[in-house]
């Protein structure tokens, strides 16, 4: 449900930006393309220097124009989101991580719907340079994490059945706590 709301909100913002562009749409597209190209170089610089805070700001800003991305820009923004996810996971910043996962999935879906052939070719090219950048597998893993988290939040993830008293006495350890859960299954902090 939250994913649908995020996609609708993202689409509404994008539509509002397109409608509000004024009389000359071609002039607006040129300005947006130039803006995205400047942001692309700034994003590249932020990633190269390890400034993930700036990279996050740039990737967020660029993602507003995902419909106008070149396949290379899509790869760059998705790569930035992967780096931000890795950093958030390492620092155990669950909320930031979940927001990044949602942004990644949204950009991935929109980019593939707009230009699937060229975007997939760019994915393949990026993966040949860095085999860890399998954008399709990353998208699948991120979706699974988001589904698990959403299921925990709406209560549809079935909780473990209560253990019989006799069984509890036979176990070596006590009842499971939140700290015993894997990181991706814990509630947001």
The answer to whether position 183 is within a domain reads: no
d(CA 68, CA 62): 10
| 91-115 confidence digits (pLDDT tens) | 999 999 999 999 999 999 999 999 9
- Backbone dihedral region of 40: left (phi > 0), alpha (psi from -120 to 50 degrees) or beta? alpha
Residue 78, domain member (yes or no):
yes
Residue 162 lies in a domain: no
Q: Look at residue 58 and tell me if it is in a domain.
A: yes
Calculate what percentage of the chain has a pLDDT beyond 70.
62
Is 146 in contact with 101 (CB distance < 8 Å)?
Answer: yes
Query: What is the distance between the alpha carbons of residues 103 and 100, in angstroms, rounded to a whole number?
Result: 5
If one compares 54 and 4, the residue with the highest pLDDT of the two is: 54
Summarised one tens digit per residue, pLDDT across range 123-151 is 999 999 999 899 999 999 999 999 988 88
| Domain assignment of residue 93, given as a range | 2-155
HSE-CB at 97 with a 13 A cutoff on CA atoms is 22
Question: Would you say residue 179 lies in a domain?
Answer: no
Q: Is 1 helix (H, G, I), strand (E, B) or coil?
A: coil
17-66 pLDDT per residue, tens: 444 444 434 334 444 556 667 777 778 887 777 888 888 888 888 888 88
In a domain, 188, yes or no: no
In this structure, is residue 165 part of a structural domain? Answer: no
- Of the two residues 13 and 124, the one the predictor is more confident about is 124
Q: Domain count for the chain, please give it.
A: 1
At residue 176 the predicted structure's pLDDT band, cuts being 50, 70 and 90, is very low
DSSP string, 19-42: HTT-S-HHHHHHHHHHHHHHHHHH
> What is the Cα–Cα distance from 52 to 88, expressed in whole angstroms?
10
Is residue 80 domain-resident?
yes
Q: Among 69-73, 78-82, 121-125, 169-173, where is mean pLDDT lowest?
A: 169-173
């Amino acid at each position: 449900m939250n994913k649908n709301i995020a996609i609708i909100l993202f689409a509404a913002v994008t539509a509002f930006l397109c409608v509000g562009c004024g009389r000359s749409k071609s002039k607006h597209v040129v300005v947006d393309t130039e803006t995205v190209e400047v942001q692309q170089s700034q994003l590249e610089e932020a990633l190269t220097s390890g400034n993930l805070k700036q990279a996050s700001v740039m990737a967020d800003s660029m993602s507003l124009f995902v419909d106008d991305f070149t396949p290379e820009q899509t790869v760059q923004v998705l790569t930035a989101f992967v780096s931000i996810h890795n950093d958030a996971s390492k620092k155990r910043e669950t909320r930031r991580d979940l927001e990044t996962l949602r942004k990644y999935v949204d950009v991935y879906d929109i980019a593939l719907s707009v230009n699937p052939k060229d975007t997939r070719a760019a994915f393949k090219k990026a993966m040949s340079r860095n085999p860890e950048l399998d954008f399709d597998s990353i998208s699948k893993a991120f979706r699974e994490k988001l589904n698990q988290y959403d299921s925990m939040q709406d209560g549809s993830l079935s909780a473990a059945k209560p253990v019989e008293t006799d069984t509890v006495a036979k176990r070596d350890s006590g009842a499971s706590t939140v700290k015993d859960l894997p990181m991706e299954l814990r509630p947001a902090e």
